[in-house]
Amino acid sequence: MKKNLNFLMMFGLCLLTACSTPNNGSSSSEVTVPLLKDVYANYFPIGAALTENKISLYEDLLPNFNSITQEYEAKWSITEPLEGQFDFSSSDPMVEYAKENGKGVRGHTLVWYKSLPRYVLSDNPSKEKLISRIENHVEGVINHFKDDVYVWDVVNEALRDYPSLAQVESGDFYRTGDETNDATGGDLFAICGIDYIESAFKEAYRVRQENNYNFKLFYNDYGLNYPNKREALLKMLDQFALDGTPIEGVGLQAHYYLGSFNIDEFENTIRSIVERGLDVQITELDVSIYPYSTYPITYDEIPESLSKIQASMYGQIMGIARKYSHPENDAYGKVTGVTMWGVADDITWLDNNPVSGRKNWPLLFDEFHEPKQAFWSFIDLDKYGE
């Protein structure tokens, strides 16, 4: 009840005025729209992923968010394109923008198989050489950003996409070159095994502790609601615990689709992580109205029936996130953040993907930057309660 009263107070005090016209942008009635970050002030930060050139485009909507994720600017191929030669000219302006506007920065990401510059693997490095490159990169990036980043996705997408039960049981669930079609992908594991993951975390921890920085260390991946991949994740986390690898949380990428989302599996994943004493952040949230396939379904605008389903999904997701944001048992982890992968429907990574020429509407604000039904479900603390 206290949280609901707080919400009502914020609803009255911390408002911006907008037209409630999600479909066509024409003004029909004036409504007051609370800022997302204010609604969730008692829970966790609400973030958005964007690039520097989108800051001016979304000047009207960015006050909703008190956290940002750089889509590309902090990845290895951008920050250290040549070995030992760091370049933060792309990332620094976004960090400065965040600091000037009171927003935290999620660091994404230190080690990811898709963002490796060619030099990392092109000379067929030994295990020792490759781990040294990983450690040098981690140290260089962290010492540049220092405390300007509040959490790092230390390693991204190290697990197979859809491991079989046999692979999970045998431990053969790490991403390898046969899954990537990328000359640089997967070879990290082929050369180093799990040591490349653990070395990245241990180096990030060492640099943090020696310099008294204050950020969290996360592993980030997608598809973690699928039982086999969730079990693979849990086995990896248990191995980390045995080896003393200092992981503090897991990021759920959360690219979901109408018709393929199971709220019970979503909760099972969060529960199984927080019960291990680790935090959870939903790091790349969007809800596509299409199944992820090339089946040629195409709409000129989002149908009302699908808009309602999408809104309900967002409400259920946030209800679970709130439920696990204040655990009664201090030994448990908790949900500590939710980040949208984008800001509004005018520009999203799902436009033309995977079907060329197909528009998608996966976010909380429409093409005209007006709140959708999904927005109102996202903030409905009563209907989608804890």
Residues recognised as catalytic? 157, 284
Rg for the chain, CA atoms, rounded: 21
Q: How far is CA 266 from CA 5, 223, 255, 295, 364, in A?
A: 28, 10, 12, 26, 20
Tokens of 248: 């503090």
CA distance 151 to 244: 19
CB 315 within 8 A of CB 384: yes
CB 81 within 8 A of CB 374: no
CB 216 within 8 A of CB 110: no
Helix (H, G, I), strand (E, B) or coil at 200: helix
Task: For residue 348, give the H/E element and its range.
Answer: none
Sign of CA dihedral 360, 364, 368, 369: negative
CB 67 within 8 A of CB 103: yes
Q: Where are the beta strands (DSSP E) in the chain?
A: 15-19, 30-34, 46-50, 67-70, 104-112, 151-156, 216-221, 249-252, 255-257, 279-288, 335-340
CB 275 within 8 A of CB 335: no
Interhelix angle 127-145/195-211, rounded to 10 degrees, is 30
> Looking at the DSSP assignment, which residues form a beta bridge with residue 364?
none
CB 357 within 8 A of CB 292: no
CB 63 within 8 A of CB 16: yes
CA distance 270 to 239: 19
